[in-house]
Chains A and B, each alone.
Chain A
């Protein structure tokens, strides 16, 4: 990812929009297969093409869409789907909070428009670049729109293919989401305390699921894990101070 940021910066003659589109390419490479997996699952959950693409346009959150396709397929009630989506996507709150200060000079409307298209991957891309320099709004929005459209394109291809594919397993598409989580988790880990929090949260989530509290496992494990992070942090602060 960092490489493409550098490469696009080395072409000052290209337009901001071209630079943004090029910068988004690593995200596009990830979104096409994962969007495809979502499209296949949505089709197999008997969602219509319109509903499948509507979700990719107005929800635009990979993992929660894959989970929602599964919930639609198993006939879960609306409230359960909404609650799960809310919990799964609540992490964007932190990403938006982290990226917001960089855009303090933008007008509020532009900042809000930017935030509606914030995903795990575009957050990773933008925060990497914003730390060096905040590019013009046109380049930033070109990254977002390119990523968003590639997500919709992947969903559409997957939906079209779902009637031809009776089983996504031979292609490993069912593993796109776990593999993406592996990458995003490891990109978040910069020190040993984070390793401890990750292991702890993972184990807590597994234990809660084994005990039969599947619905609450992610939320409880997250709250306990982040609290452990604060505890570890205050211990190391006391030791160094």
Chain B
């Protein structure tokens, strides 16, 4: 991809990102959605995060992998525990990154 196509792609990325951020603020001023839609929308964040996370933890090169070599899965266990206990974004990220770095250091 040449530089100008990259800029154009980034500009497009900006548009498709900012429109969903702006649209509700623009349209919802003083309006209420049907309760069914509100309920459905309320579950989207949980569903989308789980859908993005789960494959990265249990799949290695397109296959289910729960062996010890799948560090992403095993390190996720202490990471989940810290997230659950502390409800803290920073501590969770540090636990995950530190855990992966530590295990790799010990294994090599």
Looking at the complex, which one of B25, B45, B50, B55 makes contact with A94 (CB distance below 8 Å)? B45
Classify the secondary structure of A's interface with B.
Answer: helix
Contact A78 B5 (CB under 8 A): yes
- Residue among A55, A103, A226 with most chain B CB within 10 A: A226
User: CA–CA, A93 to B104, complex, Å?
Assistant: 38
Whether A202 contacts B51 in the complex (CB less than 8 A), given A94-B41, A104-B29, A176-B96, comes out as yes
Interface bits B22-37 vs A (CB < 8 Å: 1, else 0): 1111101110010010
Q: Which residues of chain A are near B10, meaning CB under 8 Å?
A: 51, 54-55, 58-59
A195-227 interface with B by 8 A CB criterion:
197-199, 201-206, 209-210, 217-218, 221-227
Looking at the complex, which one of A86, A94, A183 makes contact with B92 (CB distance below 8 Å)? A183
A6 an interface residue at 8 Å Cβ cutoff? Answer: no
Tally chain B residues at the interface, Cβ within 8 Å: 73
Classify the secondary structure of B's interface with A.
Answer: helix
A12 to chain B, nearest CB (A): 26
B3-23 interface with A by 8 A CB criterion:
3, 5-14, 16-18, 20-23
User: CA–CA, A34 to B92, complex, Å?
Assistant: 12
A120 to chain B, nearest CB (A): 8
User: CA–CA, A86 to B21, complex, Å?
Assistant: 11
Q: Which residues of chain B are near A225, meaning CB under 8 Å?
A: 43, 46-48, 50-51
User: CA–CA, A108 to B5, complex, Å?
Assistant: 33
Q: Which residues of chain B are near A199, meaning CB under 8 Å?
A: 50
Looking at the complex, which one of A104, A112, A170, A209 makes contact with B105 (CB distance below 8 Å)? A170
Contact A172 B104 (CB under 8 A): yes
A137 to chain B, nearest CB (A): 14
Contact A183 B83 (CB under 8 A): yes
User: CA–CA, A180 to B51, complex, Å?
Assistant: 14
Query: 29 A-B Cβ contacts within 8 A?
Result: A27-B89, A34-B93, A59-B17, A64-B17, A81-B9, A86-B16, A89-B17, A92-B21, A93-B24, A94-B42, A95-B21, A97-B28, A100-B28, A111-B25, A116-B18, A172-B98, A172-B101, A176-B96, A176-B97, A178-B53, A181-B52, A184-B49, A194-B46, A202-B53, A202-B54, A202-B55, A217-B51, A217-B55, A233-B39
6 closest A-B pairs by CB: A179-B96, A229-B43, A225-B47, A202-B54, A172-B101, A172-B97
B interface residue numbers (CB < 8 A to A): 1, 3, 5-14, 16-18, 20-26, 28-30, 33, 36, 39-59, 62-64, 72, 75-76, 79-80, 83-84, 87-90, 92-93, 95-101, 104-105
